Chains A and B, each alone.
Chain A
Amino acid sequence: MSYWTLSITLIFVALPLLLSKTLNLGLERDTVIATVRSIIQLLAVGYILKFVFDSESLLYIFLMVTLMIAAATHNAQKKGIAIKGIVWKVAATLVFVEVLTQSVLLGFGVTPPTAQYIISISGMVIGNSMVLAILFLNRFTAEVETHQDETELVLSLGGTPKQAIHTQLMHSIKASMIPTIESQKTVGLVQLPGMMSGQIIAGADPIQAVQFQLLIMFLLLTTAAVTSVMLGFLSYPTLFNQRMQLLKS
Chain B
Amino acid sequence: MFTDYKPAVHLNQVSYIIDGNKILKRITGSFPEGKITTLVGPSGAGKTTLLKLCNGLLSPSSGELYVKGQPINSYEPTELRRLVGIALQSAPMVSGTVYDNLALPMELQSKKLSADAAKQLLHDVGLEEEFMHRKVSDLSGGQRQKVSIARTLVNRPDILLLDEITSSLDRTSLKEIEELIAAINRKYKTTIIWITHNLQQALEIGDFTWVMMEGEVIETGESELLKSPATDKVRHFVKGGAV
Contacts and interface: CB of A to CB of B under 8 A. Distances in A.
Contact of A157 (B58, B59, B90, B151): B151
Contact of B81 (A149, A157, A167, A246): A157
Contact of B108 (A154, A243, A244): A154
Interface string A22-49: 0000000000000000000000000000
Given A149-B92, A244-B78, A156 B57 contact: yes
Interface string B146-169: 000001101100000000000000
Contacts of A160: 78, 108
A158 B58 contact: no
Interface string B60-93: 0000000000000100011101100110101011
A159 B78 contact: yes
Interface string A220-249: 000000000000000000000001111000
Interface residues of A, number: 17
A145 interface: no
A155 interface: yes
Contact of B94 (A150, A243, A244): A150
B188 to A, nearest CB: 18
Interface of A: 149-150, 152-160, 163, 167, 243-246
Interface of B: 55-59, 73, 77-79, 81-82, 85-86, 88, 90, 92-94, 104-105, 108-109, 151-152, 154-155
Given A155-B81, A156-B55, 20 more contacts: A149-B90, A150-B92, A150-B93, A150-B94, A152-B57, A152-B88, A153-B93, A154-B94, A156-B57, A156-B86, A157-B81, A157-B104, A157-B155, A158-B79, A158-B108, A159-B108, A243-B56, A243-B77, A244-B56, A245-B59
6 contacts: A156-B81, A156-B88, A157-B105, A157-B151, A158-B108, A243-B56
